[in-house]
Amino acid sequence: MNPTSLDLSMFPRYALLEGPTPIQHLSRLSTQLGGATIYVKRDDLNGLGGGGNKLRKLEFLMGEALARGADTIITVGARQSNHARLTAAAAARAGLQCELVLTRAVPRFDAEYLENGNILLDDLLAAHVHDLPAGTDALPFAEARADTLRSQGRNVYVCPLGGSSPVGCLGYAEGAAEIAAQSRASGIAFDHIVMPNGSGGMHAGFVAGMKALGLNPPSVTAFAVYAGAEKAHATTLDKANHTACLIDASLRVEAGDIVIDESQLGDGYGLPTDAMRAAVRLLASTEGLLIDPVYGGKAFAGLLENVRSGRYGAHENVLFVMTGGLPGLYAYRSAF
Ligand SMILES: Cc1ncc(COP(=O)(O)O)c(C=O)c1O
């Protein structure tokens, strides 16, 4: 029998989670669609700072930052980054200063996008926001800012886009183990697992965790929401191998372990599609569940398309990983 837990005790960790998140059966939606049975993994219920998937990564990232004696954390993202908001929340809880380098990479110019949603919460969480124009590379700016602060005596930890360093990705290796344990305990085998792929860290960590547990990663399909499939595949494979190496130096992730579908990307990152709008409304109106317009909405649209086209068998179980990002709905008021 495969193991359902990973020993990650050698990595420093700062507690941000409240224990396993539930898996719920979407009975009304499954009946309405008349195909596969759909379940959701409620990682949106990781609650700090408005909640979401990034808290799994931040447990390890904050652990590393604190182990290095950091007093300040800097991260990067788009203006409505959920990762940035949750980094600010984790920093507040740990008593660290937080600076966010946010770019206007998404061409949306209405007041809700620019000032509501995550950006409002960043302010409440006392993060210092650097507002960069479109086309600026945020990471070199963050590194330079870190050097300036270090010259003033501060100890700064810089966290990459999406928190998707190999150490951050460990959070989702453990997420995979959590699902394996829940599947074993409930007797429900998931034939397909569906999630969004943004910076690729969640998918990479998940696949690395599955490999370490002896499970079959191609059962995971990630819908690309940030980069096209080719680029997302290369980034995710690289991150997955670095993460796997941290768990077990002999572990390798193969190209075929990473399955990415770009059919829901539309015109690009953060740009709404009709399928996303319909998916957000359908899940809300049939199950009372809210997913975000940038990540979950597009990935769930892909899941719906696969159910309707018969790609999943009628007797199969499909698990959708709900990742949070609810504040994005307020920022995208004009998209609905
Ligand atoms: C709500 C939400 N879902 C999914 C993702 C995707 O995770 P990753 O960047 O690790 O691919 C993100 C990333 O910011 C997110 O905020």
Averaged pLDDT for residues 30-49: 96
Is residue 96 predicted with pLDDT exceeding 90?
Answer: yes
> What pLDDT is stored for residue 128 in this prediction?
98
Residue-wise pLDDT tens digits, 204-261 = 999 999 999 999 999 999 999 999 999 999 999 999 999 999 999 999 999 999 999 9
To the nearest whole percent, how much of the chain has pLDDT over 70? 100
Residue-wise pLDDT tens digits, 100-151 = 999 999 999 999 999 999 999 999 999 999 999 999 999 999 999 999 999 9
Tokens of 255: 């190209």
Residue-wise pLDDT tens digits, 267-299 = 999 999 999 999 999 999 999 999 999 999 999
Q: Is 323 in the pocket of ligand 1 (CB under 6 A)?
A: yes
DSSP letters spanning 71-113: SEEEEEEETT-HHHHHHHHHHHHHT-EEEEEEE--S---SHHH
> What pLDDT is stored for residue 270 in this prediction?
98
Please, what are the domains in the chain? Answer: 23-52+165-335 (3.40.50.1100), 54-163 (3.40.50.1100)
d(CA 44, CA 50): 9
Q: Which pLDDT band, with edges at 50, 70 and 90, does 302 fall under?
A: very high
Give the list of residues 6+ apart from residue 259 with CB closer than 8 angstroms, or none. Answer: 217, 218, 220, 221, 222
Q: Which residues of 236-271 are buried (b: 16+ CB within 10 A; e: fewer)?
A: bbebbbbbbebbeeeeebeeebbbbbbebbbeebbb
Average pLDDT, the chain: 97
> What pLDDT is stored for residue 138 in this prediction?
97
CB neighbour class for 288 (10 Å; exposed up to 12, middle 13-18, buried from 19): exposed
Report which of 192, 237, 253 is spatially closest to residue 219, judged by C-alpha positions. Answer: 192
> What pLDDT is stored for residue 1 in this prediction?
80
Q: Which residues are catalytic?
A: 81
The torsion angles phi and psi of 311, rounded to 5 degrees, stand at -65, -30
DSSP letters spanning 131-169: EE-TT--HHHHHHHHHHHHHHTT--EEEE-GGG-SHHHH
Report which of 162, 115, 128 is spatially closest to residue 331, judged by C-alpha positions. Answer: 115
The ligand 1 atom at the shortest distance from the C-alpha of residue 202 is 10
Q: Is 293 in the pocket of ligand 1 (CB under 6 A)?
A: no
Q: Is 324 in the pocket of ligand 1 (CB under 6 A)?
A: yes
Residue-wise pLDDT tens digits, 81-95 = 999 999 999 999 999
The ligand 1 atom at the shortest distance from the C-alpha of residue 201 is 10
Output the CA 296–ligand 1 centroid distance in Å: 8
> What pLDDT is stored for residue 2 in this prediction?
85
Averaged pLDDT for residues 23-33: 98
Is residue 47 predicted with pLDDT exceeding 90?
Answer: no
Q: Are 300 and 283 in contact (CB under 8 A)?
A: yes
Q: Which amino acid is at 216?
A: N
Look at the chain and count its residues: 336
The ligand 1 atom at the shortest distance from the C-alpha of residue 197 is 11
> What pLDDT is stored for residue 224 in this prediction?
98
d(CA 101, CA 84): 9
Q: Are 141 and 133 in contact (CB under 8 A)?
A: no
> What pLDDT is stored for residue 255 in this prediction?
98
Q: Are 48 and 55 in contact (CB under 8 A)?
A: yes
